[in-house]
Chains A and B, each alone.
Chain A
Amino acid sequence: GAVVSQHPSWVICKSGTSVKIECRSLDFQATTMFWYRQFPKQSLMLMATSNEGSKATYEQGVEKDKFLINHASLTLSTLTVTSAHPEDSSFYICSATAFNYGYTFGSGTRLTVV
């Protein structure tokens, strides 16, 4: 089946620094990738949708300058949390989809900003 790899699985960073999270579709070319954020005991909230070679579409209330998304190829999307602050600590999960592949989720990245 379709596999999506997300890296790193967890990261601790200092307040004010930037963190990059990678999402790769390993055995298929993803036409679209999605980035979600999940706070403890809450649901997954869609942050943005990215298509290869075009700018990401952000959901209402998500700062595009803070959460930079790059989708340079059909198998890789990256999310960079810029100038991270403690309130950005969360579980970030990517999902990739392609025709006939459904939606496949990465294993998530637990970000802790100290």
Chain B
Amino acid sequence: GQQVMQIPQYQHVQEGEDFTTYCNSSTTLSNIQWYKQRPGGHPVFLIQLVKSGEVKKQKRLTFQFGEAKKNSSLHITATQTTDVGTYFCAGLMDSSYKLIFGSGTRLLVRP
């Protein structure tokens, strides 16, 4: 079946260090979205990538969509304690309207 895998499962960094989470799909995606979920909260939409090789930036966050549209990454530069949470990628498969979530990466930041 359709699978979206994400690594690492969790990462513990010192404040100021960089962080990256990777997302891989077993099938080609029409687009990929990234969400952040704080403990006890619901997923909050961060960004959507549609084009092959697309790169988007939001302040300290950089999002990339692979050339084959099967993988993506989120990179946070100089993490802050406010970055704590679980980051999910979610892929929209070609010819489908169902959003399939990756397994998530839990980020912990030591002050």
**Could you tell me if A103 and B88 are in contact, using CB atoms closer than 8 angstroms?**
no
A90 to chain B, nearest CB (A): 13
Select one of B1, B99, B102 contacting A103, CB under 8 A: B99
- Interface membership of A93, Cβ < 8 A: yes
Give min CB distance, A36 to chain B, whole Å: 8
- Which of A43-51, A62-70, A74-82 contacts its partner? A43-51
**How many A residues face the partner with a CB closer than 8 A?**
21
Question: Quick check: is B27 within 8 A (CB to CB) of the other chain?
Answer: no
Secondary structure of the B side of the interface?
Answer: strand
Residues A43 and B45 in contact, CB atoms below 8 Å apart: no
Near B by CB (< 8 A), chain A positions 36-62 give: 36, 41-46, 49, 60
Secondary structure type dominating chain A contacts: strand
User: Do B97 and A44 touch across chains, with their CB atoms under 8 A apart?
Assistant: no
A-B contact count (CB 8 A): 46
Q: For residue A41, which residues in chain B have a CB less than 8 angstroms away from its CB?
A: 106
Give the interface size class of chain B. 20 to 34
Set of chain A residues within 8 Å of B103, measured between Cβ atoms: 42-43
Q: A105 touching B104 by the CB < 8 A rule?
A: no
**10 other contacts beyond A49-B98, A93-B43, with CB at 8 A cut-off?**
A34-B98, A43-B88, A43-B103, A45-B101, A46-B101, A49-B97, A93-B42, A102-B45, A103-B99, A108-B41
B-side residues, CB < 8 A to A, are 1, 33, 35, 41-45, 48, 88, 90, 97-104, 106
